[in-house]
Each structure stands twice: as structure tokens, then as C-alpha cells.
């Protein structure tokens, strides 16, 4: 038996698999105990204590036994082919008290890694996972205090031949082709940016936010933190602003395809990379991506009061991109297939390479279907409704009868459309019915049949390049059945199934590792030490979490096990070496190795660690989506997305003003308004009666205290309650104030409150202390929200100073 010394138990066994971060008190908690039979660790063995009460849950602090139980053998003792292991399950779900624990094998005197039971068990995990996008920012310095000094770096690609002055790749010497295409995120482990690859990234993040907004806080320690807007919204805006430049650069309403370099000579850290940067021109796939992404983003941002104008602009951009695509595709009948010739590295971005099946016309039609769904939701225009209802049966998930893990964004747009008011009832019913058929794979049938020893079944073929993304997508499908009320009788089972997949990422897998980079400071005891990323590459100071002086930044999701490594895949392509095993010649779930080497100068071959360990923004968004849904399900916040429209909360002199609209009032009995001071525990605030045929409602909360307040609305029907999304209002009474958005491009809102009528003087000053503009007014008692234009100020850092009778509170702002 192989074991390692660690922590509270005298010996820690790698064969007792737990979620290394932990569990919610009400979670289904099952440790997986294994004995390897095949694969890289087949020579190892473990014989657990299988007698009565031979497994215990012990408190970490004092070894007190809080639960004893007996292992249940999996599948009669059979070896699972997909993992190469046989095993047992230890269910300790009844342990609910908050605390730190480990699992203990009495017979072998060994224990598991430490784990927590807590209502906040994944809060720090979410924070680090979201901060991955901050580290991926381009043209933005990562500086203390917003990062540990180990990962500080100057703004990348600021040189005169880089992103702010990128040229068309076919006209590198032509200065007239220069465009400012700065901003955005590194796509993955390379430094390039691809418009089309933002589709599943941004649609995923935005739908995740729409469905459970209260999960996302304003304290991720990014420069925008504390501005009154959830940091996920600030972070997504960084990518959206780049996409806007990709559209502005064309002058047609279409979008450029990608920005990158024409070689593989990237440097670490990113700020030192002096390679010229080029762009690839407009393509139908990138234009359709822009239309879909701008449409859903516009819906989200328009619902945030301080970003409403930004949201309206995005919707207009989505309409422009749609009109351009309609022209360039001959009314969506002919799609461009050869926009990307590979000169600009590294991914083929036009969605028409041999890696994309079926043919690119079907993939691009999926983009158009998604765009139409969101554009109809955003505008109500008949053109988009007609297109969607004509073509929804052509969507791959619908036509193929398989709502698989590769096209979640299309599926969620279709489900969203099916639940809108005013759509064709037959279309809606058809979509929901087709979705309801898909609960056998990656869902409750596999789960209840105990198909996977590791309790998160995915078919062998899905363990390919990017498997961590696909597994998370599959788990999210279960929550979609709850969110869109596809199968009302099994809501709890879907949520339990989806959560079980999350534990796989946190250590309940054959390798026993957390699939995130360098999470040792946040509760992990075994995790991905190396990732394929140019910044954190082989031989750099950031190479390895344990052996390098700095290690990679935390929270990056790896690509995942890939059974095709070293073999020909379904498209006839071969990558990887048969001499590196693992990952070669392993069971699908064990097709993993912790390394980050690419080109090997000794043997002059590519080891292709990127096929296993390269992170990506789309994989990260899928993991964040799953994590958010698990967190929300334990806070009771899986939100049904229908019925409510334009729900806003604004600070007024009279108090917090809630306004909302509903699609219809048929069978609607009344509304219950609820308020919370932590976003989790809600109390009834008021009951609002329904007025026949009246769709718009307003309520004033006059008793707003000096703190952050959350609101939600329940629409009460005879047989169900429909819950709105959450809205957050942040105010500080007695002369405190907040500023949003921050950073900004043109204007800000000053939100605050005073306890009595007060004369206020607002000043904007620069770094030298010079007053650049000011405004004085008498503020009535209560909350206030004041608009301040910054149009006359150049880009830079400023301070807003509010002179009051008792002090001068000041806030820093950045104008981009």
C-alpha cells in the first residue's frame, strides 16, 4: 500500500477520495474508496476495512468520532473499465455540523485529506476561479494589491506594433489597416484572442449570472471591486469592450475574427512579449458570434441601472451584427468556411476546420438561432421570432435528439426562448419536450443506476480534448431541468446529481487531485501543479506549484483527461507521444499527467501537454457555472427565469424603489416582496396585490438602513411560486457613498444617503490635487443617486471627493 504522511491523521491515504474543499451541511456526502486494478497505478493496492462501522468521520481538531459507518461495495466488486479501479462508497450525509473533518479507516489506521462542512464552503473557491479571468486580461497590469507579488506583471502588448495598433495579417506593412483591438482576455494558454471562442464563454457566464446573481459578489479583489457592481459583471465587461472594438474596426457591423501572432515564439511573463500582433478580417462566424453575445449581454447589462445605457448599446450592436450577417450569408443560407488559414496562431477560429463536425454551416446556423432567441427577448421584433421559429428544429441539439455537453449555449438560448411570453405555444412545447428526453446520459438515470464509481458518469468518448469543460456542461444540464422547469417532479434529484459532478473536480477522481491550479492556500492538499500556459510554462519561475519559486496563479481549471492522447482521434489527427504514459494507454478517466512540456528540444517532438493541461476561458466559464449552481441550490436560489421583466431597484429620496413587470397576470394571485441583508436569508417585506391586466408594479421600501440590501419577488400562483432574480442596492448613510460603474468610459452614478437635509459639495480632483469639476447641492434626507458626467476629462485616474459637515469621504475612479 502506498501512502503519504500529512496533517491530522497519522497517515493520509490517496485511496480515500473526498471533496478536498468540502461540502454544504445538506449535501449528499459520499467518499469513494478505491483499489487500483488497471492503469498507471495498477501495481498499487488498498484493502479497506469493510467490516461493520470500520469507517469514521473524525473531527480534524481533536480526532473525535462524529459518525461511524460501513462501506458499500460498488457494482459487486467489479472493476470499472473507465477508471481502472474497483471501489466502495462511504455515505456520511448525516454529518451536518459545521467544522473541519477527515475520513478514517479503522482497520488500516489511515485517513483522508481534510475537508470542511460549511454554508460558505466554496466561497473562496469561486473567488479564485473567477480571478482567473483577471489574470487573463490583456493590456492591463496585474499589480499589488490586486494580486500577490508573485503574479504581478505589467500591461501586456502595449507596444506600437501590438494590440492598440494591430494590422491586418495580409497587409502587415500597410499602416492604414491599423486598428485599436486592445483589451479582452487571453483565450487559453496562448496569448491570442478569438471572437468565435467567446460564444460559449460569455453566453455561459451571462446565463449563469442571470440564473443566480446573488452568488456573485463585489469582493474578488480586482480593481473594480467595491464599486457596487458584482465583479463578474465588471470582468465580463473587459471582454465585451474588446469585442466592441472588433466590431468598430470593421466599419460594417461585422466583427473581425481573431487577434494574435504569426509564430510560436511567445515569451513569459506576458509583458515581455514583443511579438507583433495582427488581426484576421471579418467572417460570418465571428459576426454571428457578436450578434448572439451582444444580445444576451445587452439584456443583462440593461437590467443594471448604472449600466443600462451600456446594455442598450450592446443590443444595438447585436442588431447591427445580425443585419450584417444576413447580408454576408445571403439570408443565412451560405456561410464563409475559409476565413482562417492558420497564419495567425493558434486555434482555427472560423468553425470550419476538420475538428468541427458536423459541417460549419450547421455550427454557424446554431449561432444564428442563438442570436435570434436573445434578440427577440431583447427587442420583441418579429423578424427574430420568425427566424427562430422557422429554424429551431435545425439546431443540432434538436435535430440530433441529443442535448450533449458541447453546445450548452445554444441549448440554454432555446430553453430561454421556450419560456418567453408571446412565442408560439407549439414551438415552446416542442423544445421542452425534446429536452425532457435527455435525462439518461450525464443525468439522473446514470446517477441512480450508479454507473460511475466516481459518481459523475460521462461516456468514454467525452474524455477528449477539453473534457473538464464537457463534464461541467453535462452537470449543468441537470440544473437546466430545474431552472427551466422541464421536469418538475425531479428537481431535487437533478440538483443532487449535478452537485455530485462538482466533487469530481475537487478530488473525487482516479488521480485524487483538485483539477484547479495551485489551490494549496485555499484548502486543497493535492491539485494541478503544472498547467500549459505560456506565462506559467516549463522552465519559468511559475512552472510548478511545489518546486518553482512562484508557481502558477491559483484557480485555473485544467483541460482534463484525454483518452485520445498519443492516438488518432475521430478526425484522423494524432497528437502526443506513446512514450509518455500516463496519459497514453490509460483508462479514459486516468488519461492524465501533471506536466506542461510542449516542444521537446532533446527528442525534437511535441509532447503536447496542451492536450491535457491547457486551461481556457470556455472551460473556466463552465466550471464557474457549475460551481455557482451548486452554491445557489444550497441557498435556495435556483431561479426560474420567467414572468419577471425589467426588475430594478433604485435609491430615491423616499427609499428603495422597486419596479418590475410581468408577462401576464392569468392565475397570478399576488406578489411577496422579500428583503435580505446578506443575499442568503430573506424575510417578507410586503405583499402586493395583483391588478387585473396590469403588468407594471412599483413599491417603495421606506425603511432602508445604511448597508447593502438585497431584494427579490415571488409571484404566487395556485400551484407554484416563481422567484425573480435578485437585485442588490448598496448605500451608506451619513455621508458615505459608492461610485459605479468604475472603471467607466463616460459617466458615473454617485449612490449614497444622508440622515437629514444636508448641503453637499462634490469635487473631482486629479493626482496633483487640482479640482477639475465640482457641483454643490442641498440633499434631502434619505437615499440619493446622482449622475455625474466625465465626458470632458481625458482617460486617467481621478478622485471623487464629497465635502460634508462631518468629513470628506473620497473614492478613486478610473476613466478608460
User: CA–CA separation, 625 vs 443, rounded Å?
Assistant: 16
CATH class of 736-815: mainly beta
Name the β-bridge partners of 596: none
User: 160: which 3 cell numbers?
Assistant: 506600437
Task: Using alpha carbons only, give the angle 19, 21, 23 rounded to the nearest 5 degrees.
Answer: 70
**Residue range 17-54, pLDDT digits in tens:** 999 999 999 999 999 999 999 999 999 999 999 999 99
Nearest to 527 by CA among 539, 536, 518, 535: 518
Buried b (16+ CB within 10 A) or exposed e, 581-594: ebbbbbbbbbbbbb
DSSP states along 17-80: E--SSEE-TTS--EEEEEEE-SSTTTT-------STT-EEEEETTT--EEEEE--EESGGGPPB
User: CA–CA separation, 707 vs 738, rounded Å?
Assistant: 11
User: CA–CA separation, 671 vs 660, rounded Å?
Assistant: 11
Which one-letter DSSP state was computed for residue 393?
Answer: G
User: CA–CA separation, 555 vs 235, rounded Å?
Assistant: 16
**Residue range 139-192, pLDDT digits in tens:** 999 999 999 999 999 999 999 999 999 999 999 999 999 999 999 999 999 999
User: 361: which 3 cell numbers?
Assistant: 454551416
Rg of the Cα trace of the chain?
27
Q: Which residues contact 298 (CB under 8 A, 6 or more apart)?
A: 311, 312, 313, 314, 315, 316, 317, 318, 378
Nearest to 555 by CA among 610, 620, 470, 473: 620
Q: Whose grid coordinates read 442563438?
A: 370
Three-state DSSP state, 279: strand
CATH number given to 16-117: 2.60.40.10
CB atoms within 10 A of CB 548: 18
User: CA–CA separation, 397 vs 483, rounded Å?
Assistant: 18
User: 168: which 3 cell numbers?
Assistant: 491586418
User: CA–CA separation, 513 vs 101, rounded Å?
Assistant: 18
CB-count burial class (<10 Å; 0-12, 13-18, 19+) for 341: exposed
Which one-letter DSSP state was computed for residue 737?
Answer: E
CB atoms within 10 A of CB 636: 11
Tell me the CA distances in angstroms from 253 to 60, 300, 385, 388, 670, one per residue in order: 59, 21, 21, 21, 44
Q: Residue 126: what pLDDT?
A: 98
User: CA–CA separation, 792 vs 796, rounded Å?
Assistant: 12
Q: How far apart are the first and last CA of the chain?
A: 59
Task: Using alpha carbons only, give the angle 292, 297, 303 rounded to the nearest 5 degrees.
Answer: 140
User: 514: which 3 cell numbers?
Assistant: 483538485
Buried b (16+ CB within 10 A) or exposed e, 760-783: bebbbbeeeeeeeeeeeeebeebb
User: CA–CA separation, 634 vs 708, rounded Å?
Assistant: 21
Q: Residue 641: what pLDDT?
A: 47
Contact of 526 with 494, CB cutoff 8 Å: no
User: CA–CA separation, 559 vs 533, rounded Å?
Assistant: 11
CATH number given to 644-730: 2.60.40.10
Phi-psi region of 655 (alpha: psi -120 to 50; beta: other; left: phi over 0): left
User: CA–CA separation, 46 vs 35, rounded Å?
Assistant: 5
User: CA–CA separation, 483 vs 493, rounded Å?
Assistant: 13
Tell me the CA distances in angstroms from 690 to 185, 644, 666, 668, 669, one per residue in order: 46, 14, 10, 7, 6
User: CA–CA separation, 222 vs 226, rounded Å?
Assistant: 9
Three-state DSSP state, 188: coil
Please give the helix or strand (H or E) that residue 310 lies within, else none: helix 308-328
Which one-letter DSSP state was computed for residue 185?
Answer: B
CB atoms within 10 A of CB 602: 5
Angle between helices 360-379 and 284-302 (to 10 degrees): 30
User: CA–CA separation, 611 vs 466, rounded Å?
Assistant: 8
Q: Residue 804: what pLDDT?
A: 76
Nearest to 801 by CA among 760, 764, 747, 753: 764
Q: Residue 574: what pLDDT?
A: 81
Contact of 91 with 69, CB cutoff 8 Å: yes
Q: Residue 643: what pLDDT?
A: 56
CATH class of 122-438: mainly alpha
User: 127: which 3 cell numbers?
Assistant: 473567488
User: 207: which 3 cell numbers?
Assistant: 446565463
16-117 against 736-815: fold identical = yes
CB atoms within 10 A of CB 518: 29
Buried b (16+ CB within 10 A) or exposed e, 703-721: ebeeebbbbbbbbeeeeee
| Under-50 pLDDT residues of the chain | 1-7, 356-357, 639, 641, 733-734
User: CA–CA separation, 323 vs 617, rounded Å?
Assistant: 28
Three-state DSSP state, 412: helix
User: CA–CA separation, 107 vs 152, rounded Å?
Assistant: 48
Report the Cα 309 to chain-centroid distance in Å.
24
363 phi and psi angles, rounded to 5 deg: -65, -40
Nearest to 583 by CA among 681, 480, 511, 683: 511
Q: Whose grid coordinates read 456561410?
A: 335
Contact of 11 with 109, CB cutoff 8 Å: yes
Q: Which residues contact 91 (CB under 8 A, 6 or more apart)?
A: 28, 29, 30, 69, 72
Which one-letter DSSP state was computed for residue 794?
Answer: P
Name the pairing type of β-strands 30-36 and 85-91: antiparallel
Q: Which residues contact 812 (CB under 8 A, 6 or more apart)?
A: 797, 798, 799
Contact of 745 with 776, CB cutoff 8 Å: no
User: CA–CA separation, 2 vs 36, rounded Å?
Assistant: 11
User: CA–CA separation, 310 vs 598, rounded Å?
Assistant: 42
Which of the following CATH numbers is that of domain 439-637: 1.10.3470.10, 3.40.50.720, 3.40.47.10, 1.50.10.10?
1.50.10.10
Q: Where are the domains of the chain?
A: 16-117, 122-438, 439-637, 644-730, 736-815
Report the Cα 202 to chain-centroid distance in Å.
8
User: CA–CA separation, 719 vs 713, rounded Å?
Assistant: 17
Q: Which residues contact 578 (CB under 8 A, 6 or more apart)?
A: 566, 584, 585
Q: Which residues contact 544 (CB under 8 A, 6 or more apart)?
A: 529, 530, 551
Amino acid at each position: 500500500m502506498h501512502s503519504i504522511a500529512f496533517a491530522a491523521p497519522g497517515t493520509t491515504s490517496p485511496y480515500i477520495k473526498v471533496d478536498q474543499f468540502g461540502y454544504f451541511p445538506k449535501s449528499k456526502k459520499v467518499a469513494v474508496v478505491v483499489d487500483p486494478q488497471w492503469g498507471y497505478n495498477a501495481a498499487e493496492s488498498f484493502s479497506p476495512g469493510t467490516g461493520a462501522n470500520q469507517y469514521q468521520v473524525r473531527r480534524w481538531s481533536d480526532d473525535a468520532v462524529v459518525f461511524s459507518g460501513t462501506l458499500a461495495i460498488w457494482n459487486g466488486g467489479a472493476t470499472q473499465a473507465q477508471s481502472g479501479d474497483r471501489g466502495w462508497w462511504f455515505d456520511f450525509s448525516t454529518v451536518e455540523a459545521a467544522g473541519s473533518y477527515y475520513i478514517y479507516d479503522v482497520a488500516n489506521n489511515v485517513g483522508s485529506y481534510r475537508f470542511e462542512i460549511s454554508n460558505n464552503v466554496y466561497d473562496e473557491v469561486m473567488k479564485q476561479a473567477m480571478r482567473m479571468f483577471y489574470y487573463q486580461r490583456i493590456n492591463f497590469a496585474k499589480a499589488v494589491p490586486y494580486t500577490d507579488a508573485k503574479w504581478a506583471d505589467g500591461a501586456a502588448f502595449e507596444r506600437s506594433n501590438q494590440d492598440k495598433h494591430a494590422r491586418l495579417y495580409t497587409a502587415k506593412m500597410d499602416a492604414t489597416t491599423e486598428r485599436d483591438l486592445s483589451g479582452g482576455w487571453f483565450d487559453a494558454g496562448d496569448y491570442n484572442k478569438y471572437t468565435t471562442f467567446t460564444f460559449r464563454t460569455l453566453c455561459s457566464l451571462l446565463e449563469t449570472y442571470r440564473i443566480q446573481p446573488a452568488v456573485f459578489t463585489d469582493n474578488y479583489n480586482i480593481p473594480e471591486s467595491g464599486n457596487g457592481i458584482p465583479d463578474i459583471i465588471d470582468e465580463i465587461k473587459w471582454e465585451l469592450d474588446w469585442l466592441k472594438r472588433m466590431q468598430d474596426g470593421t466599419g460594417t457591423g461585422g466583427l473581425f475574427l481573431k487577434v494574435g501572432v504569426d509564430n510560436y515564439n511567445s515569451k513569459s511573463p506576458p509583458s515581455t512579449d514583443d511579438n507583433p500582433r495582427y488581426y484576421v478580417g471579418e467572417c460570418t462566424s465571428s459576426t454571428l458570434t457578436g450578434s448572439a453575445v451582444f444580445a444576451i449581454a445587452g439584456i443583462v447589462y440593461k437590467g443594471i441601472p448604472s449600466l443600462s445605457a451600456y446594455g442598450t448599446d450592446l443590443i444595438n450592436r447585436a442588431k447591427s451584427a445580425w443585419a450584417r450577417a444576413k447580408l454576408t450569408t445571403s439570408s443565412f443560407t451560405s456561410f464563409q468556411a475559409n476565413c482562417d488559414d492558420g497564419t495567425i496562431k493558434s486555434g482555427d477560429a472560423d468553425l470550419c476546420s476538420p475538428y468541427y463536425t458536423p459541417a460549419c454551416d450547421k455550427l454557424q446556423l446554431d449561432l444564428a438561432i442563438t442570436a435570434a432567441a436573445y434578440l427577440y427577448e431583447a427587442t420583441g421584433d418579429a423578424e427574430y421570432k420568425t427566424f427562430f421559429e422557422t429554424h429551431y428544429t435545425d439546431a443540432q441539439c434538436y435535430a440530433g435528439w441529443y442535448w450533449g455537453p458541447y453546445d450548452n449555449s445554444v441549448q440554454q438560448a432555446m430553453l430561454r426562448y421556450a419560456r418567453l411570453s408571446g412565442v408560439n405555444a407549439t414551438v415552446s412545447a416542442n423544445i421542452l419536450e425534446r429536452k425532457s428526453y435527455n435525462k439518461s446520459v450525464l443525468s439522473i438515470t446514470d446517477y441512480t443506476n450508479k454507473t460511475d464509481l466516481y459518481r459523475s458518469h460521462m461516456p468514454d468518448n467525452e474524455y477528449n480534448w477539453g473534457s473538464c469543460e464537457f463534464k461541467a456542461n453535462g452537470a449543468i444540464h441537470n440544473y437546466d431541468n430545474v431552472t427551466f422547469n422541464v421536469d418538475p417532479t425531479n428537481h431535487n434529484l437533478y440538483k443532487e446529481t449535478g452537485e455530485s459532478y462538482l466533487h469530481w473536480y475537487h478530488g473525487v477522481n482516479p488521480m485524487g487531485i483538485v483539477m484547479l491550479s495551485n489551490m494549496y492556500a485555499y484548502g486543497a492538499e493535492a491539485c494541478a501543479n503544472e498547467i500549459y500556459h505560456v506565462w506559467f510554462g516549463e522552465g519559468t519561475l511559475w512552472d510548478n506549484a511545489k518546486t518553482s519559486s512562484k508557481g502558477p496563479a491559483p484557480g485555473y481549471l485544467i483541460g482534463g483527461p484525454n483518452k485520445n492522447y498519443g492516438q488518432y482521434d475521430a478526425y484522423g489527427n494524432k497528437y502526443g507521444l506513446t512514450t509518455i504514459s500516463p496519459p497514453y494507454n490509460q483508462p479514459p478517466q486516468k488519461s492524465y499527467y501533471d506536466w506542461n512540456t510542449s516542444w521537446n528540444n532533446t527528442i525534437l517532438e511535441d509532447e503536447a501537454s496542451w492536450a491535457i493541461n491547457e486551461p481556457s476561458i470556455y472551460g473556466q466559464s463552465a466550471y464557474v457555472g457549475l460551481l455557482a449552481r451548486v452554491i445557489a441550490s444550497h441557498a435556495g436560489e435556483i431561479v426560474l427565469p420567467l414572468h419577471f421583466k425589467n426588475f430594478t431597484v433604485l435609491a430615491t429620496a423616499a427609499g428603495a424603489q422597486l419596479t418590475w413587470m410581468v408577462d401576464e397576470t392569468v392565475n397570478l394571485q399576488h406578489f411577496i416582496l422579500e428583503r435580505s441583508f446578506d443575499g442568503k436569508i430573506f424575510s417578507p417585506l410586503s405583499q402586493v396585490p395583483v391588478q387585473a391586466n396590469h403588468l407594471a408594479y412599483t413599491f417603495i421600501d421606506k425603511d432602508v438602513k445604511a448597508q447593502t440590501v438585497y431584494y427579490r419577488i415571488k409571484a404566487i400562483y395556485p400551484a407554484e411560486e416563481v422567484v425573480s432574480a435578485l437585485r442588490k442596492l448598496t448605500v451608506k448613510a451619513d455621508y458615505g457613498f459608492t461610485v459605479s460603474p468604475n472603471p467607466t468610459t463616460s459617466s458615473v452614478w454617485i449612490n449614497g444617503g444622508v440622515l437629514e437635509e444636508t448641503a453637499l459639495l462634490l469635487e473631482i480632483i486629479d493626482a496633483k490635487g487640482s479640482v477639475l469639476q465640482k457641483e454643490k447641492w442641498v440633499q434631502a434626507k434619505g437615499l440619493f443617486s446622482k449622475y455625474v458626467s466625465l465626458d470632458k476629462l481625458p482617460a486617467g485616474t481621478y478622485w471623487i471627493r464629497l465635502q460634508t459637515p462631518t468629513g470628506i469621504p473620497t473614492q478613486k475612479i478610473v476613466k478608460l
